[in-house]
Structure 1
Amino acid sequence: MAQETTDVPGDSTESDADPCCAGPPEVDSDALVADLQLLSAMGNDTRYELLRRIANAEGGVCVCDLQGAVGVSQSAVSQALSRLYSAGLVSRRKEGSWRYYDTTDASDALLSTLDDLRGDDE
């Protein structure tokens, strides 16, 4: 008659070699940092609203239009746009004394994914 074995925490048995206990696979730390920078840049209501407004515009949006739309100071808009730009979520171009912002492929993909998760049919 075969003897049954039970796993006891701290007890070294054949189950230690079980693949479910091998630990999680390695994660690319550079990719984690990049992903967190993107998600963190979008994780503020003002920055996210600015990103959505820029995405909904055609041909870029002037900073002056964004300031009036979100109801925060020029300084707050500038800081938010700078953070979005640093994260690679918006591009900017200068025309005369005005700066125009547009979304990047990365932000378009992220916003589209969020729309899909919500079930938006746009």
Structure 2
Amino acid sequence: MAETRTRLRRLLAETLEECCEADVDRRLEELHALTDATFDEDLVRPVFAVLGNRTRYRLARTLAVTDDERCVCELEPVVDVSESAVSHALSDLVDAGLATRRKAGNWRYYDATPLAESLFETADREVGASE
């Protein structure tokens, strides 16, 4: 933290032409207020954390681009892991708000949520625009 304060003091001194500890403290307070207001860890972190796993990412992507809900047995070949691992990954996607689950007898069907579809559509559009 001391190094961060030193670097921040240098930045502020260059920007403001002079800087004191009160300026550094004020800027740190502004930054903390910004992050407190912007990041709801309970909502944001699970969504992106769950997509950091290759299996869950592929499953979420598959569900987002298919028009129909899919059974676990249909998703297993997409990721080449056991049915148990697929079920666990899908459960994580449901918990993160990226997939829905419907049980019909012995079968469980999954579909992408509007959030998942929107995330992938936005990512595809932005990647396409930058190429």
Query: TM-score of the superposition, structure 1-length normalised?
Result: 0.76
> How many residues in Structure 1 have an aligned counterpart in Structure 2?
109
* Correspondent of 1:15 among 13, 19, 40: 19
**Cα distance in 2 between the residues matched to 1:116 and 1:53:** 17
Q: What TM-score results when the alignment is normalised by the length of structure 2?
A: 0.72
1:110 paired with 2:119, answer: yes
Letter in 2 for 1:88: G
1:36 is aligned to 2:53? no
Q: Distance in 1 between matches of 2:78 and 2:101?
A: 18
Deviates more, 1:44-53 or 1:91-100: 91-100
Identity among equivalent positions (%) equals 40
Q: Which runs of 5+ in 2 are unaligned?
A: 1-8, 11-17
Aligned Cα RMSD in Å?
2.6
* Displacement after TM superposition at 1:106 (Å): 1.2
> Structure 1 residue 78: deviation in Å?
0.8
Match in the other structure for 1:94: 103
User: Amino acid of the residue matched to residue 41 of structure 2?
Assistant: L
CA-to-aligned-CA distance 1:27-80 (integer Å, 9 cap, x gap): 248712321111001111000000111112112111110012221001110110
Name the larger-Rg structure: 1
> For the structure 1 residues 69 and 33, does the alpha-carbon distance in structure 2 shift closer, same or farther, using more than 3 Å as the test?
same
> Which structure shows the higher helix fraction?
2
**Structure 1 residue runs without a partner (length 5+):** 1-7
